[in-house]
Structure formats: C-alpha cells, structure tokens
C-alpha cells in the first residue's frame, strides 16, 4: 500500500495550451479524475484546480497548478503544507522529452531533467524526494527546437500513443496505491503502446 496523498499533473493553463505536448500531466490527472467520477474544480487558495478521491482507505487529492509551468511549485507546496503532505506522499505526472511517445516511467526522486515545472516544485518543496510519472512525448532532435515542440500539438498518431500510455499510467497509479511502487512500475514499464 503506497501512501500517496497528492497526485499532481503539470501543464499550462488556458485553451491555447490544452492540446499541447507540455500538458500531458494535465491529461493524465483529468483522466484519472474522470475514472473516479470526479471533476477538477478551481480552488483559488491552492492556485489550481483540485478534486478529492475517497474510496475505502484511499484519500487522494488531485491538483492541476494553474500558474504557468515554471511556477508549478507554488500550488504544490501550498497544498502540501495545508494538508501536511510530505514530499514522499506526492506523485507528479509530467511530459518527458527523453522518452518516446508510447512510453512512461515511474520513479522516485532524482534530478529535474531540465524540466521547469519539476525544478520549481523541488525549489518550493525544498526536496526532490517526490515520486514522478514521466510521460514520453519524444524529442524534436535539437535543443533550439524544444520550446516550440513542447508547446506544439502532436500529430494524430503520436497523440494516440500518448493517450494509450496515459490510460495505462492511470492503471499503474491504481496499482501504486493498492500494491506499491514495484507492482506499478512492472505494469507501466512492460507496457508498450502499439505503433501503427
């Protein structure tokens, strides 16, 4: 039984960003909320949209920070402090350039990988010890093209790979909550989205 009390999805607010690769974390948390019959609602004091899932022993808060990506930590730290949630009880889902579309990885702690949202969360929490769910979006091949790439929309085939992966990742979060990190990692890391 993993003691995850806060699931965070990273992205940028506003309709112009909603379908961009950088919002993969938002997509995952929104889907997880839907699967549990919840809708994320604006909550000004937490600088984001929130929901709560309570089932049996499970009491999980969901958060989409509505500051921009590089200010994500404010929402996460505010909510964590308010509910006395330790970094080790937080799972953050976000887009990962270094993984191809159709893959996702779960890990605990580690560096920021240059991800501005993760950098800010580490800074605001004062700890890198939270869990991460990295959703592969692929890399444009050149550093100078990264910004346009992450803020762009994926072609339909790539989007389908990411959607399939997010469905599997939601299942792995369920395993994480019920059976722990190892079961969740085994499920997620063995999954390979079917490329057409």
Query: What pLDDT does residue 15 have?
Result: 94
Instruction: State yes or no: is 22 an active-site residue.
Output: yes
- Residue 137 CA to its chain's centroid (Å): 13
Confirm whether 72 is domain-assigned.
Answer: yes
Confirm whether 128 is domain-assigned.
Answer: yes
> Does residue 110 surpass a pLDDT of 80?
yes
Confirm whether 1 is domain-assigned.
Answer: no
In this prediction, residues 31-55 reach a mean pLDDT of 96
Instruction: Report whether 67 belongs to an annotated binding site.
Output: no
Confirm whether 181 is domain-assigned.
Answer: yes
> Does residue 111 surpass a pLDDT of 80?
yes
pTM score of the predicted model: 0.96
pLDDT one-digit tens code per residue, 51-86: 999 988 889 999 999 999 999 999 999 999 999 999
Residue from 22, 49, 131, 187 carrying the catalytic annotation = 22
Confirm whether 196 is domain-assigned.
Answer: no
| Sheet arrangement for strand 131-136 | 41-43, 48-55, 58-65, 6-9, 90-96, 131-136, 104-108
Query: What pLDDT does residue 196 have?
Result: 44
Query: What pLDDT does residue 2 have?
Result: 53
Confirm whether 195 is domain-assigned.
Answer: no
Confirm whether 171 is domain-assigned.
Answer: yes
Q: Which domain holds residue 155?
A: 6-190
CA separation for the pair 181, 148 (Å, rounded): 34
Confirm whether 114 is domain-assigned.
Answer: yes
Split into its structural domains, the chain has a count of: 1
In this prediction, residues 121-126 reach a mean pLDDT of 97
pLDDT one-digit tens code per residue, 152-166: 999 999 999 999 999
In this prediction, residues 127-139 reach a mean pLDDT of 97
Instruction: Report whether 12 belongs to an annotated binding site.
Output: no
Instruction: Report whether 70 belongs to an annotated binding site.
Output: yes
For position 39, which CATH number holds?
A: 3.40.50.1470
């Amino acid at each position: 039984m993993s003691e995850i009390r806060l699931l965070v999805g990273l992205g940028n607010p506003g309709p112009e960003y909603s379908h961009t690769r950088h919002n993969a974390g938002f997509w995952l948390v929104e889907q997880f909320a839907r699967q549990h019959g919840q809708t994320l609602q604006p909550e000004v004091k937490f600088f984001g949209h929130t929901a709560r899932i309570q089932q049996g022993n499970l009491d999980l808060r969901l958060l989409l920070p509505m500051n921009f990506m590089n200010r994500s930590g404010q929402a996460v730290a505010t909510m964590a402090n308010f509910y006395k949630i330790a970094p080790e009880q937080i799972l953050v889902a976000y887009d990962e350039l270094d993984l191809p579309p159709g893959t996702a990885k779960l890990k605990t702690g580690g560096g920021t990988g240059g991800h501005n949202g993760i950098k800010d969360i580490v800074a605001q929490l004062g700890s890198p010890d939270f869990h991460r769910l990295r959703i592969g979006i692929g890399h444009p091949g050149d550093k100078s093209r990264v910004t346009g790439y992450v803020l762009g929309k994926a072609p339909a085939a790539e989007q389908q790979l990411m959607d399939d992966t997010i469905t599997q990742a939601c299942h792995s979060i369920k395993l994480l909550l019920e059976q722990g990190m190892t079961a969740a990692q085994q499920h997620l890391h063995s999954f390979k989205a079917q490329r057409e």
